[in-house]
Structure 1
Amino acid sequence: MACQEAFHLIFIIIFPISGGFIFSQIDLLAEACRPYKAVTSFGLCIYRTINSQSPDGVVDAVAHASKLLEGYSGEVPSELVDGYISSEINNLKALIILDLSWNQFSGDIPSSIGSIESLVTLSFAHNNLQGNISQFLGDLRGLESLNLSNNNFSGLIPRSLETLNYLQYFDVSHNRLEGEIPTGGRFGNFTAQSFTQNYALCGVARLQVPPCENQTVKRSNSKHVLLITYIAVPIISAIFIVAIIIWFIRRRKVKKNQLHVEISPLLSWRRVSYQELVQATKDFNEMNLLGDGSFGSVFTGTLSDGLNIAVKKFNLQLENAIKSFDIECEVLSKIRHRNLVQVVSCCSNLDFKALVLEYMPNGSLGKWLYSHNYCLDLVQRLNIGNTFPIVHRDLKPSNVLLDEDMNAHVGDFGISKFFGEGEAFSQTITLATIGYMAPEYGSEGNVSTKGDVYSYGILLLEMFTRKKPTDDMFSKEMSLKDWVSEALQEHAAIEVVAPGLMETEDQHFSEKEECISSVFGLAMECLVILPEERINMTQTVAKLEKIRATFLASISR
C-alpha cells in the first residue's frame, strides 16, 4: 500500500480499570494517530515505537497488539488510566465509535470533540469526569448513542442536544445534574432510566422527577439568593481554610504513628469496639439474625450514630474460619468498588473475630429470585448482571446483595483472591458450590477468572429462568445449560424464561424475546467447557452492557 493512499485503522479495545492491560495515556492518542485521520473506531489507542514509516508497519503493529497484552495481570498503574481527555482528540476526523467507559478519567469533556462530526456512538460512562456537559456535543449531528452515566457532571443538560435528530440512546444517570430536562427533539422518547440518581433534575411527570419551579418565582427569589451568597461565601471560605489546617495537622500525627505502610488501607476504616457490636446487635440476638454462612452468622444492627450495619461473626470453632476472616480482611482492604460490599470496620481478638459491613436492605439476589413476595423486572435483572476480575470462587445468588437502589454488591470473599484478568493458579481443595463450579475447578483444581466466567454464566441463566442448577428437574443427562441450549436451538426462549418475566401479550414482547435470547447466548459463551476458549469477564460485561443499551433503545422508540 502506498503511503499516499487512504489508510483505515479499525481497532476497538475496551479497558476496565481492574483488567490486566497496559496502555498509553490518552493525550498520546492524537500524536500516535495524527497521520491516519481515517480511524473509524476507538476504545483506547495503544501507542508504541514503530520502526517502519509506512502504514503497513502500523498495520503490523496493530495486528500484533494482542500479543503485547499477553501475560499482563494485576492492577493497572493509576497514571495510565486517569488524567484528562486531550483536546487533540479532534484530529480523528473519521472516528465513528468512541468508548472510554470504565476508566478513571477526570476533568471535563473537551469542546473540540464537537468537531468529530462522524461520531455515531460516544460513551464516557463510569469515569470521574466533572464540570458541565459540553454544549458542543450538540454539533455531533449523526450521533445515535450518548452515554455519560456514572460520572460527576453538574449543571444543566444543554439544550443543544435537542438538535440531535438521530439520537436513539441517551443516559446521564448517576451524576450531579440539575435543572429542567429538555423536552424537544428526541428527548420525548427517553425514559426515567436515562436521568435517575441525579442532584436536582426537574421536568415532566413521566420521567419521575419533580416539576420545575415557575420562572417568575425564580426571579423573585434571585435577590434573596444573591444576598445570602454574599454573606455565606466568606463564612464558608473561612470554615474551609480552618478545616484544611486541621486536616494537615492530623495527617502529620497519623504519619508519625504509622508502624508500616502495609496497614495504610485500614486507616480509613472506622474503629468499632466489641462492646459497640454487642450493643448494636442486642448481644447477637436471634431476632437480629440475617442468616448463616460457611464460617459463621450474619446479624443486623445499628450503631450509636444511627448507621445500619451487618455484622459477620465468625465461628472460630470451625476449621478454616480464621483463614477465611484473614482473607476477607485482605481482599476488602485492598479494593474499593461500587459493586463490592464495603467494610465499615474489622473487629479481632483471640476469642472474637467479626467483619462490620455496610447493610444491604434488599437482601440477597436469591431472595428476590425465589420468594413470591418479590419480583425483578427485565431491566433490573440486566442491571444486576455486572462483575469484574475477582477470583471469588463461589459466585452465586446468595452472595450477590442488593442495596436500597437495587444495585448489586458481591460479598462473602472467604475463599477469594484478587487477580488480574486471565491470571490463574492451582487449588487442591474444592470450596465452591456444586452447580456453579467450573469443570476445571472440580477436576484439576485450576482457579482463575475464567472459572468465575463459568459461574457467571450459570448465574445469568438462573436469573432469567428462575431455575437453580441443582433443581430436581436436572440430572446427568439434562443440566440447566442443556435445557436452555435446546430452547435456543428451537427458537423457543419463552419456554424457559422465568414466570411473569415475558408474556406473549406484552407491549414489547418481541424486544424482550430478542433481549433474553441474547442474554442466553452470552451465557452459553461463558459456559464453554475449555477455559481457554471462554470469553473473559471484560468481554462479558461489555456484551451485557450492549444488550442492555440495545433493549432500552428499542423500547423507547
Structure 2
Amino acid sequence: MSALRAVVLDENMFSGNLPADLGSGIPSLETLICANNNLSGFISATISNASRLGMIDLSINSFTGPIPQSLGNLENLEVLNLQMNNFVSDSALSFLSSLTHCRKLIELRFAKNPLEGFFPASIGNFSDSLQIFEGWTCKLKGSIPREIGNLTGVIRINFSQNNLTGHIPKTIQGMLNLQEFYLESNKIEGIIPDVICNLKKLGALYLSGNQFSGRVPPCLGKVTMIVEYGQDGIVSTSCDVYSFGILMMETFTRIRPGDERFTGDLSIRRWVSDSFPNEIQKVVDANLVQLGDERIDAKIECLLSIIELALSCTLATPDARIGMEDSLSTLEKIRLQFVNRWN
C-alpha cells in the first residue's frame, strides 16, 4: 500500500486499537482521519514514519497514553486534532515543544484531555502559520507564558475551563491577528491589560469565571461578542451584524458558539437553523418556554421572530444580510409586539 495517500474512517463505530506499527509501510500517506469512533489504546511513535502526513484527526475517541513527541518530526503537518480523548502528558507538556518543529502547522486542537500540565515557554516558538490553538478542559495549570505574544499568526485561542492562574501577559499585544480569545472558567487574576486594545481584529473575548479586578479597558464596549472570518483570516465588512445575530442565538439558547457539541460542519447557526421554525423549542432555553405557562404562545411567537432575525443577520453571503440599523429596529418592534400582547 505504498501509494496510499488518504485514510478517512470518521463517524463510524470502529473499536479496538490502531496498529502498533502505525505509519510504517505507508510512506505516501497525507491524510489520516479516524475521528468520532470508539477507538482506544496508545498512538505509536512510529506514526511519524508516514513522513508526508499533513492532516491527523483522531478526535472524539478513547485514546490513552502520551501524545507522541515524534509528531514533531512531521515537517508537512498542517492540522492536528486530538481533542476529546484520554491522552495524558508529562507536567511540561513536552508534546507542545516538539510540535513547534512543525513549521507548517495551522490548526492544533488537544482539548478535553486530562493533560494536567504547565504551558512551556516554548509555545512561543510556533511558526506564524499557526492560526487555531485550542486546549480547553485539559486541567492545565500555571500561568500563560509571556512568550505567547510571539504567536503573531494566531486567529483563535481557547484555553477555557482549566486551572490557569497568574495574569494575562501584556505581550498579548503581539498577537495582532487574534480574533477570538477564550479564557473563561480559570483562576486568572489581576487586571485586563490595556494593551488588549491594540488587538484591532479581536471580536470575541470570554473572561467570565475568573478572578479579575480593577477597571475594564475602555475599548471593550467596542468589541463584538463573536466574529466571522474566512480561511484567509480577514474579518468581513458585515462582521457587526453577523456578530449580533450569533449573540442573539447565544442569549436565547444559553449555548455558546464554542460549545463542544459544535464540531465539523455543525455550528450554532446550523443547529438553530435546522430547528427553525417547527422545532424551535428544542434549542431555546427551556426556562423560557415551560409547559403550563399561560403566556407560552406569546413567548414562542416572540422567540420565533427573534430567531428569524438572528438567522437573517448571519446569512452566508454578507450582502444578503439585514443591515445593523434595520436589525435593531426590528428587534425593538418584536419587543413592543410582545409587551402589547402580554398586556
Structure-1-length-normalised TM-score:
0.34
- In 2, Cα distance between the equivalents of 1:180 and 1:384? 24
Matched, 1:94 2:57: no
Q: Can you list the C-alpha shifts for 1:309-368, whole angstroms capped at 9, x where unaligned?
A: xxxxxxxxxxxxxxxxxxxxxxxxxxxxxxxxxxxxxxxxxxxxxxxxxxxxxxxxxxx9
| Residue 131 of structure 1: how far off its partner (Å) | 2.5
Matched, 1:386 2:262: yes
Check 1:83–1:196 CA distance in 2 against 1; reply closer, same or farther (3 A cut): same
Show the counterpart of 1:203: 167
Partner of 2:89, secondary structure, is strand
Match of residue 399, structure 1, among 277, 282, 286 = 282
- In 2, Cα distance between the equivalents of 1:492 and 1:120? 32
Q: Contact between 2:130 and 2:154, CA under 8 Å: does it hold in 1? A: no
Q: Contact between 2:63 and 2:87, CA under 8 Å: does it hold in 1? A: yes
Alignment of 1:435-450 (within 5 A): none
Check 1:130–1:402 CA distance in 2 against 1; reply closer, same or farther (3 A cut): farther
- In 1, Cα distance between the equivalents of 2:159 and 2:122? 17
Q: Can you list the C-alpha shifts for 1:220-262, whole angstroms capped at 9, x where unaligned?
A: xxxxxxxxxxxxxxxxxxxxxxxxxxxxxxxxxxxxxxxxxxx
Match of residue 17, structure 2, among 25, 32, 35 = 25
Alignment of 1:50-199 (within 5 A): 81-132=39-90, 133=93, 134=95, 135-165=97-127, 166-184=129-147, 186-187=150-151, 194-199=158-163
Report how many residues are paired: 225
| Structure 2 counterpart of 1:12, one-letter code | V
Structure-2-length-normalised TM-score:
0.52
Q: Contact between 1:100 and 1:123, CA under 8 Å: does it hold in 2? A: yes
Q: Which structure is higher in RCO with an 8 Å CA cutoff and minimum separation 6?
A: 1
Show the counterpart of 1:11: 7
Q: Contact between 1:178 and 1:202, CA under 8 Å: does it hold in 2? A: no
Partner of 1:173, secondary structure, is coil
Matched, 1:34 2:24: yes
Partner of 2:327, secondary structure, is coil
| Residue 143 of structure 1: how far off its partner (Å) | 1.3
- In 2, Cα distance between the equivalents of 1:370 and 1:181? 31
Check 1:499–1:102 CA distance in 2 against 1; reply closer, same or farther (3 A cut): farther
- In 2, Cα distance between the equivalents of 1:370 and 1:85? 39
Identity of aligned residues (%): 20
Show the counterpart of 2:33: 43
- In 2, Cα distance between the equivalents of 1:119 and 1:140? 6
Partner of 2:100, secondary structure, is helix
- In 1, Cα distance between the equivalents of 2:62 and 2:166? 29
Partner of 1:88, secondary structure, is helix
In structure 1, stretches of 5+ residues that fail to align are 46-74, 213-367, 389-393, 404-411, 413-461, 468-482, 501-557
Q: Contact between 1:26 and 1:44, CA under 8 Å: does it hold in 2? A: no
- In 2, Cα distance between the equivalents of 1:127 and 1:99? 11
Q: Contact between 1:95 and 1:116, CA under 8 Å: does it hold in 2? A: yes
| Residue 189 of structure 1: how far off its partner (Å) | 6.1
- In 2, Cα distance between the equivalents of 1:40 and 1:86? 17
- In 2, Cα distance between the equivalents of 1:182 and 1:44? 33
- In 2, Cα distance between the equivalents of 1:495 and 1:401? 22
Q: Contact between 1:40 and 1:96, CA under 8 Å: does it hold in 2? A: yes
Check 1:89–1:493 CA distance in 2 against 1; reply closer, same or farther (3 A cut): same
- In 2, Cα distance between the equivalents of 1:387 and 1:8? 27
Partner of 2:87, secondary structure, is strand
Q: How well do the aligned residues superpose, as a CA RMSD in angstroms?
A: 4.6
Larger CA Rg, structure 1 vs 2 = 1
Show the counterpart of 2:223: none
- In 1, Cα distance between the equivalents of 2:108 and 2:58? 12
| Residue 8 of structure 1: how far off its partner (Å) | 4.5
- In 2, Cα distance between the equivalents of 1:97 and 1:91? 14
- In 1, Cα distance between the equivalents of 2:14 and 2:65? 22
Check 1:129–1:494 CA distance in 2 against 1; reply closer, same or farther (3 A cut): same
In structure 2, stretches of 5+ residues that fail to align are 173-180, 192-246, 265-274, 291-305, 329-343
- In 1, Cα distance between the equivalents of 2:282 and 2:109? 29
| Residue 96 of structure 1: how far off its partner (Å) | 0.4
Partner of 2:88, secondary structure, is strand
- In 2, Cα distance between the equivalents of 1:123 and 1:387? 11
Q: Can you list the C-alpha shifts for 1:85-111, whole angstroms capped at 9, x where unaligned?
A: 222212111100011111111222122
| Residue 43 of structure 1: how far off its partner (Å) | 0.8
Q: Can you list the C-alpha shifts for 1:90-149, whole angstroms capped at 9, x where unaligned?
A: 211110001111111122212222222221111111112223332322222221111111
Q: Contact between 2:252 and 2:285, CA under 8 Å: does it hold in 1? A: no
| Residue 182 of structure 1: how far off its partner (Å) | 2.5
- In 1, Cα distance between the equivalents of 2:16 and 2:168? 44
| Structure 2 counterpart of 1:87, one-letter code | A
Show the counterpart of 1:466: 310
Relative to total residues, which structure has the larger helix share, 1 or 2? Answer: 1
| Residue 383 of structure 1: how far off its partner (Å) | 3.6
- In 2, Cα distance between the equivalents of 1:84 and 1:130? 10
Q: Contact between 1:381 and 1:464, CA under 8 Å: does it hold in 2? A: no
Q: Can you list the C-alpha shifts for 1:530-549, whole angstroms capped at 9, x where unaligned?
A: xxxxxxxxxxxxxxxxxxxx
- In 2, Cα distance between the equivalents of 1:382 and 1:196? 10
| Structure 2 counterpart of 1:93, one-letter code | S
Match of residue 492, structure 1, among 297, 319, 336 = 319
